Structure 1
Amino acid sequence: MRLIAAAGHDLRTPMTRMRLRAEFFDDDEREFWLKDIDELDRIADSAIRLVREEVSDDSRQPVRIDRMVQEVVREIRDLGHDAAVAEAAPATALAMPLALKRAVRNLAVNAATHGGGVRVTVKAAPDSVRVIFEDDGPGIPEPMIHRVFEPFFRVDEARRKFHPGAGLGLAISREIIAKNGGTLEIANRPEGGLRQVVVLPGAQAEA
């Protein structure tokens, strides 16, 4: 992952030169060049964030996961995504709040973007907190589902036309969740769509 971050960092200088040169192109050609450069920018940023999450030493503190989920759902709904909170039981976990919110947002946006909408459920148990993201999209072919956490993995490269990105969102999310003592599992729903399940240690269990 450090190699990925180094490559992302080293891409900065040539991308800056490419952006400057693109300004001299005709309008139509400039638009295509800048679109590709913007995608390279996103890939570089995601690569660097991936390693920052791996080495982050942010302190963990009690976090109301239900409130965090409600806030994230409001944010992505404001961006035009179809998102809803199906259930949000009061639940507290010891976590790094900023990093964990990034992971929750990544998972919600992933479901909303590729699944046509997302429903989020928060469930509390005496020793754990469970956050479930469900959508009604096409899911992931079973032979490929074990690869979803690979950096830069995309189910269908053609999706870049409609949903540009680096393919690092799930890798970053799992890294963050693991650093918070939790797990992330992804499976196809029997009735169709995808289910992403985050399990975090409850604050009482951590204590």
Structure 2
Amino acid sequence: MPAWLRRVSALASRLLPATLFGRLALLLFVAVLASHLLALTLMFELRPEPQWRGPPPGGPEFTPGAPPQFAGAAPAPWSAAPPRPAGPPPPPIGLLHLGTGMLLDIGVRLGALMLTAWLAARWLSRPIRRLAQAARELGQDVHRPPLPEEGAQEFREASRGFNQMQAQLRRQLEERDRFVAAVSHDLRTPLTRLRLRAESLAEPVDRLAFQNDIEGMEEMIRATLDYLRGVAEEEPFVWLDVGALLSSLADDHPVGPGAVQVEGKARPVRAQASALRRALVNLIDNAVRYGERAHVVLRDDPASLRIEISDRGPGIPPHQLEQVFEPFYRVDASRNRHTGGVGLGLAIARDLVRRQRGNLRLHNLPQGGLQAVLELPRDSASPSPTPGGRA
């Protein structure tokens, strides 16, 4: 393809509307405008020339193709020469010389057609917007109501395929839930037997070593099953006082009440209580583990609730800030559960936050340490403000 053609194609792509509604409306507008221009052109091209009757003013004149007239000669018969139009020449015909009435008529017709085109484009693109909204909601809630199968045949087929995909995802999640329950039972049973047998060991050193290994295995199994469970557990959304929840987590932290400090207050927000609690526990535990203390700040905005969890730890290298959310990824290369855990805490936390239609990200603080920022969207209506956390 020549370079100039590529440039023209790129320019046309930038000028075209991005939405289906915009492209449909533009196409209809061009079609209506072209049809009007073509109709006017044909009307003026095929319009017959007007005929004027009457003798030429001021006597005979020379007419090409007629015999010459000499002085004193009798005038030629009237039929010998074609009649010439009487009066001033006819006005030129064109768009600029149309009458006001015709211009008004064209404007009214064009406006009515454009309004119809705009309404038709909006009506035809509505099912596409509904399908896009359903696709966005499917990532947050696989149990959402199915799409109504209505509209044109193509839209009905697309909605039917979307509903079948959603039903298939539901079945797969149910099968995964049954698999997780079976694995949990099969793994915990031998661990319980090992714990009982370790109690019968005579040497305290051997008994403590066995118990530590069994506790490590139980922690890994519990974290793995929590991650595999994912969104399989359906939990209703309720109005939750996040400030009170954070205060209770700070008071009940195993390290002690002084390990977690909560500031700010916020209005209640719609969330899944157990899922949000687990996400906050994972983030606070990470902050206490690597930074000894966790500083939690609530920031309430009209559109969202922002929770900032900061620590004074070593932070994370910038190129690994997104990688730490991957399952089983750990900045600490060792497998000691007391230093780095299993590598599922942040992956589980982000998964749980996304179930709240929220977002979780990490960034290093300029003065040192790491900050986890958790944002929860607010619904259009929410209860009146209530005191949240403690200063």
TM-score normalised to structure 1 length: 0.85
* Structure 1: runs of 5+ lacking an equivalent: none
Structure 2 residue corresponding to 1:142, chosen from 299, 318, 343: 318
2:251 alignment partner AA: R
Structure 2 residue corresponding to 1:200, chosen from 376, 380, 383: 376
Q: How far apart in 1 are the matches of 2:185 and 2:224? A: 8
Q: How far apart in 1 are the matches of 2:351 and 2:213? A: 27
Partner of 1:11: helix, strand, or coil? Answer: helix
Structure 2 residue corresponding to 1:58, chosen from 231, 235, 250: 235
Q: How far apart in 2 are the matches of 1:190 and 1:164? A: 24
Task: Give the superposition deviation at 1:11.
Answer: 2.7
CA contact (8 A) 1:39 1:165 kept: no
Does residue 36 of the first structure (1) align with residue 228 of the second (2)? no
2:237 alignment partner AA: R
2:194 maps to what in 1? 18
Does residue 167 of the first structure (1) align with residue 343 of the second (2)? yes
Deviation string 1:93-143 (CA, Å, 9 cap, x unpaired) is 210112211211211111011112110011111111000001111011223
Q: CA RMSD for the aligned pairs? A: 2.8
Does residue 131 of the first structure (1) align with residue 307 of the second (2)? yes
Q: How far apart in 2 are the matches of 1:191 and 1:54? A: 37
| More strand by percentage | 1
Structure 2 residue corresponding to 1:84, chosen from 238, 242, 261: 261
2:105 maps to what in 1? none
2:355 alignment partner AA: K
Q: How far apart in 1 are the matches of 2:220 and 2:257? A: 23
Q: How far apart in 1 are the matches of 2:199 and 2:248? A: 39
Structure 1 residue corresponding to 2:282, chosen from 99, 102, 106: 106
The range that moved more, 3-12 or 41-50, is 3-12
The range that moved more, 87-96 or 69-78, is 69-78
Task: Give the superposition deviation at 1:83.
Answer: 1.3
**Compared CA separation, residues 103 and 17, structure 1 to 2 (3 A):** same
Q: How far apart in 1 are the matches of 2:264 and 2:340? A: 31
1:49 maps to what in 2? 226
Equivalent residue pairs, number: 206
**Compared CA separation, residues 149 and 13, structure 1 to 2 (3 A):** same
Task: Give the superposition deviation at 1:32.
Answer: 0.8
The range that moved more, 172-181 or 25-34, is 25-34
Partner of 1:170: helix, strand, or coil? Answer: helix
**Compared CA separation, residues 118 and 159, structure 1 to 2 (3 A):** farther
TM-score normalised to structure 2 length: 0.48
Q: How far apart in 1 are the matches of 2:200 and 2:378? A: 56
* Structure 2: runs of 5+ lacking an equivalent: 1-172, 383-391
Structure 2 residue corresponding to 1:183, chosen from 359, 364, 371: 359
Task: Give the superposition deviation at 1:186.
Answer: 1.0
Identical-residue share of aligned pairs (%): 34
Deviation string 1:47-67 (CA, Å, 9 cap, x unpaired) is 222233421211101112222
Partner of 1:196: helix, strand, or coil? Answer: strand
Q: How far apart in 2 are the matches of 1:90 and 1:112? A: 23
1:151 alignment partner AA: P
Q: Which has the larger radius of gyration?
A: 2
CA contact (8 A) 1:91 1:122 kept: no
CA contact (8 A) 2:330 2:340 kept: no
**Compared CA separation, residues 156 and 37, structure 1 to 2 (3 A):** same
1:121 alignment partner AA: V
2:198 alignment partner AA: A
Task: Give the superposition deviation at 1:160.
Answer: 2.5
1:160 alignment partner AA: N
Task: Give the superposition deviation at 1:70.
Answer: 2.0
